Amino acid sequence: MRNHTELTEFILLGIPETQGLEIVLFVIFLFIYLFTLLGNLLILTAIISSSALHTPMYFFLGLLSIFDMLFPSVTCPKMLFYLSGQSHAISYHGCAAQLFFYHFLGSTEGCLYSVMAYDRFVAICHPLRYNLIMRPGVCVGLVLGAWTVGCLNATTLTSFTFRLTYCGPNQVGYFFCDIPAVLPLACDDSSLAQKVCSTIVDIMVLMFWFTVCISYTRIGIAILKIRSAEGRKKAFSTCSAHLTAILCSLGPVVIIYLQSTPNPLLGFVVQILNNYVSPMLNSLIYSLRNKEVKRSLKKVFHRIVLISLE
């Protein structure tokens, strides 16, 4: 970042065409945010408290719950702050930090979905070798790899965005600092940065979908080869929750970043789904469609009741 930039802050204009609805939006987003935090915290507690869930699949699910709490926390608190009638301003470095962590957490979560798809592929296609292939060292290595990819991606995107000089207009026509909204405000020629950032994001999105599609194509073929209906149902049930979560999370990303002619209003709606609704839905998907998680949650609630009665 250049130290001689003349701008010290940006102004977030928020969601367009919502003047006069600030209180309503504040209540809605506050409810979604708190529900997301609570739901994912309960899943994380259920996984930690139950020894039966100390497996690679639930290790990745626990990490996903952490990311689903952190990801909306990058943008939601600031949005709630100005929806409550406070200042729309965000500092220059705060804007850079928001952009970095948005893409770091988003990229890492996308990699984590790919890792979880690979985990399900090994569980169904190589069940006898599952414990050998998905041993603890391999799981930790896969997670560290996901974090590394996310960090490199976010660092590159943030560097290309904020290496430019910002000395003119400072109104960000969005509800948070993202590349398409910030780059047009640069005083320098931003065409190279726009091409590089767009290419990097497109490659990341396509990479996520490619790895997930390959894994689930192999899984689908393996499930069709299972002779018993009960066996096919059991195999499908282990993947359905994860596949549903992938469609809810990565689907909006495809719409946002791979549009040939972006629609601003559609972009706002899809970003809200991606930032706030998908992390909330993940907690519902995994708690309602997973018997082991539901069983562990019941035990957690039972302990809470017993403690409160004592």
Contact by Cβ (8 Å): 279, 271: no
Contact by Cβ (8 Å): 7, 167: yes
230-273 pLDDT, tens digit each: 777 777 776 777 777 777 776 666 666 655 555 666 667 777 88
How far apart are alpha carbons 15 and 62 in whole angstroms?
32
CA 295 to each of CA 49, 233, 300: distance values in angstroms, whole numbers, following the listed order: 11, 20, 9
How far apart are alpha carbons 55 and 34 in whole angstroms?
28
Query: Which CATH number applies to 9-309: 3.40.640.10, 1.20.140.10, 1.20.1260.10, 1.20.1070.10?
Result: 1.20.1070.10
How far apart are alpha carbons 222 and 235 in whole angstroms?
9
pLDDT bin (cut points 50, 70, 90) of residue 81 is very high
Greatest mean pLDDT among 54-63, 262-271, 283-292 lies in: 54-63
Which residues lie closer than 8 Å to 185 by C-beta, 6 or more apart?
Answer: 10, 166, 168, 169, 170, 171, 172
120-136 pLDDT, tens digit each: 888 888 888 999 999 99
Return the amino acid letter for 53. L
How far apart are alpha carbons 308 and 92 in whole angstroms?
47
Decide: helix, strand or coil at residue 9.
strand
